[in-house]
Amino acid sequence: MIGVISDTHGLMRPEALDALQGSRLILHAGDIGSEEVLSQLQSIAPVVAVRGNTDRAPWAANLPWTEAVKIEGRLIYLLHDLAWLDLDPRSAGISVVISGHSHNPEVETRDEVLYLNPGSAGHKRFRCPLTVGRLIFVDGEVRGEIFPLGI
């Protein structure tokens, strides 16, 4: 399982940490909010993170705006705001696009590409639920799941 989280805005909820237990890798889709969030996630598994529009502090300066990671032969593209997507994922060989920003959890397949927005795991905003996501790899296929934090 690959854990997917976004929009923590400096708040690492114990429920989110519990939901990500057992991850072999954690992808953070930006608006992290503090280095401490990344440290807490790294206590569970290695972390790949991108910068969000609110990650302006000096600690975030070295974070990339986008990142590509290959997992089990599948190319995963990570960015904060889906509106920033400046390539055609299918043509680029991307299997999964992960984004955050909207705080709305969503799993959708378009043009043979899986899009996963894990929603927000930080401060409750906009009447959106508190959630994280998961990527599950089985028999060469990948599927996305939204996991509600129950808060």
pLDDT band at residue 151 under the 50/70/90 scheme: confident
DSSP code string of 87-105: S-TTTTTEEEEE--SS---
Tell me if the domain spanning 2-148 has CATH number 3.60.21.10: yes
**pLDDT for 93-134, tens place per residue?**
999 999 999 999 999 999 999 999 999 999 887 788 999 999
In percent, how much of the chain has pLDDT > 90? Answer: 93
Other beta carbons within 10 Å of 123: 14
The model carries a pTM of: 0.97
The tokens for 20 are: 């990500």
The tokens for 129 are: 């639920």
- Assign 43 to helix, strand or coil: coil
Residues 148, 130 contacting (CB under 8 angstroms) = yes
Residues 130-140: b if buried by 16+ CB within 10 A, e if exposed: bbbbbbeeeee
